[in-house]
Chain A
Amino acid sequence: MKNLIIATSLLALGTLGAVSPALVHEADCPYCKLKLVQNTNDKDNEVVVRFGNKKIEYRCIYCVFADQKKLTGDLIVYAPSEAAGKPVLVRRTGGNWTAPEGTVFLNAFRRHQECAGLSRTFSSKSAFDRYVAANNVANAKALTLKEMLAEVAKAN
């Protein structure tokens, strides 16, 4: 075994490139199972849900709404907005969802590989419009919270 180990240890050198220190939380989304997209200096991407002593991270706001039945009790969703470091706080209290006045949602992805960029939350319609224009999002519609929840429910 020892010799075999030595031989195989040489191989490990070749696999080091596949391992990366996690400067940020590199996990998979509990819903779509794809990797979380990390925050950057000028754009937040990770959607954080807090309830009780739990802190769960999702890839997009769609994934949170689609997975909400698994989450117990009252929720606070820290949804990335148009401004880094200034998430929109979406809450579920007693089963009812609320968001700050003026909040709108983008939900324009076709495949989950795109969900982090195309399922997002904005503090205002004007912020939504700027994001859609800057990213050339086709067929974008600014959804209210109620409309967003209805779209997610319809798709599941």
Chain B
Amino acid sequence: MSRGNAPRRRTLLERLSRFELRGFGAAGRARNAPYVLLVLALLLFPILDSDSSQVNVAAVAGVWILLALGLNIVVGYAGLLDLGYAAFFAIGSYSFAILASGQFNIHISFWILLPLSAFIAAIFGVLLGAPTLRLRGDYLAIVTLGFGEIVPRVFRNATPITGGVNGIVGIDQPKLPPILGWNGNFGFNPVPYYYLILVIIIVSIFLINNLRNSRLGRAWMAIREDEVAAAATGINTVTTKLLAFALGASFSGFAGTYYASKLFLVVPESFSFQAVSVVVLVMVVLGGMGNMRGVIVGAILIYFIQTYLLIQLPGWITSATAALNIDFLTKLDVGGYVQRSNYLIFGIILAGIMLLRPQGLIPSAQRKVELELGTTDEAVSDLGSA
């Protein structure tokens, strides 16, 4: 075992790397400059790009990014495998749909429901988590999976309230007071939605970063490393895990409300395990569990693959094989195979990353070492404690 380096003063870069977005000194400004430029570019994007469908794509990408950030809290920071993340997304969406549409003719304002639905989702997170977070990771995963299956099913069956299979249509859209020549109606215009999600994401990044460097964030890290030692050191593992779960759920619910209002309708099918929960998990795992930048990159990458690559690629391949004029290949319909391969790709990514590069694409330094070399995996409940 090495004795570590001889004591030396930490370089400025090392000290700043712990604070990422916080530095405001000269070096801090240099470090943050690229982010500022990025934010500027994002702000100008809809103005410079007149194609509103692209703005729409970006806005939807924002939803996935938000989901990935939320799941990252649960899986990445606290180390809890939640396979039913879609449930909270659904709860957020349906809460909004029920309370702000023609369904019951209740029309609570979007701006009130946004935080409210986050709160409702958090409550469900606590309800689900309270009895189950004491369980080992494996059981928690299955239970959350079950929950993630049950919730959309309940929504599908509770037709009088939730519109059953057809869902709820005609959901209210947000309104703002008129500014700068815009009448304030969101309507079906993706641009205001885009700016909204951009603001939400930037604020979320700040909040989550604060979380990570706080007493709570440290507690999550400790629990992830060695739950028994964490408990012995005075951390209430159950409430700490519950907080991770509830916070993750609230992000999901928040995203759900935004999504419902943007889409103008909700249907139960859009919230399945395969459609949402696994996709977000792949984003988090691919990008780098526990690392916000990584997770955002992962989200964008998977979103790109799913909504662009997998749709365009079959076409390209088919024309390529046709151009090559190899009979065997065209008969094989490689393009068709590619089109149907998203399950396979996700599975390969999940298993492959865990086996080959568990820290994900953009690891946090600590996580990288942790995952490669193992931690101590005892749950407090395993020890037959009181």
Do A and B make up one complex? no
